[in-house]
Amino acid sequence: MTKIAFIFPGQGSQTVGMGQEFISQESACKEFYDQADQLLGIELSKLMLEGPQEDLTLTYHAQPALLTTGVMIAEKLKKAGITPDFTAGHSLGEYAAIVTSGVMTFADGVQAVHNRGIYMNEAVPAGEGAMAAILGLNRDELKQVTDSVTAEGEIVQLANLNCPGQIVISGTAKGVELASEKAKEVGARRAIPLVVSGPFHSELMRPAASKLQQMLSKIDMQDANVPVIANVNAQPVTSKAVILNQLVEQLYSPVLWEDSVRTLLAEGVDVFIECGPGKVLSGLVKKVDRKVKTYCVYDEATFNQLIEAAKEWS
């Protein structure tokens, strides 16, 4: 019996033209884009389809854009008879996962992540925080580096534990710079600064977390009808109360993506379907287990490939 996980990418995957083919061919898909525009009072769909990329990448645009596309694709798959046994999302992608799992409506989800982007943007002024991908160290080695830099007065910590040998660090601009240098001194192959607007998943995001909690607590949430793998502990969850608390904690805690993939594998998942632009998560899944089947769905061709492949599972 095939077990399926829908997985949803986070910030960085947004791209001009995302979802274009689906919405031009199917009114049900276009409705998601139209609804997002109406709910947010901005021409989000125009940014998604026409750009410019710099404006689309602003965190309070990128977050609702990715949620809109991811949920739209997941609903299209469900209508085609492909349903998930689990959902999971990377950072922001966790919101698309919980919408797909029935915890909150699309309308609530798209407004929640737009506000989340605003809170994150306000928490740390641009240029004061940074993130970098460190390649070639394990989590214990890198944590020793970040702990030593933090002890010297510049906050920096592990932010995204993506796959073996790829970990993102986050903190003050100086802290990330120092930790990147120290990481290379102790054997990291590379330290790559990320083009992001803030130090996400670090203690510096705590001011945003309190605002996020107040906002989320006003949303009418339901228990998940499909278990969601939480970023903060990589465990399946269905309780709406637990999910709310974990979404708040997620803002300043590491994203345990490698652990989440391992949890899904242990649960018997053998097909991972990435819903949204790009192939980033599918690549990370393959680095955890090369044998597992991964599919990315972002246009008609990839959707049709998946539908063909699914005939073999059923």
Known active-site residue 114: no
Catalytic residue (one of 45, 91, 260, 282) = 91
Known active-site residue 90: no
Do residues 11 and 63 make contact, with C-beta atoms less than 8 angstroms apart?
yes
Give the dihedral sign, CA 166/167/170/174. negative
What would the DSSP string read from start to end of the chain? ---EEEEE--TT---TTTTHHHHHH-HHHHHHHHHHHHHHTS-HHHHHHH--HHHHHSHHHHHHHHHHHHHHHHHHHHHTT---SEEEESTTHHHHHHHHTTSS-HHHHHHHHHHHHHHHHHHS-TTSEEEEEEES--HHHHHHHHHHHHHTT--EEEEEEEETTEEEEEEEHHHHHHHHHHHHHTT-SEEEE---SS-TTSGGGHHHHHHHHHHHTTS-----SS-EE-TTT--EE--HHHHHHHHHHHTTS-B-HHHHHHHHHHTT--EEEEESSSSHHHHHHHHH-TTSEEEEESSHHHHHHHHHHHHHH-
* Backbone Cα Rg of the chain: 19
Q: Tell me the CA distances in angstroms from 279 to 71, 208, 272, 295, one per residue in order.
A: 16, 29, 12, 8
The answer to whether the bond into 254 is cis (omega within 30° of 0) is no
Catalytic residue (one of 90, 201, 202, 253) = 201
Do residues 287 and 122 make contact, with C-beta atoms less than 8 angstroms apart?
no
Q: Which residues are catalytic?
A: 91, 201
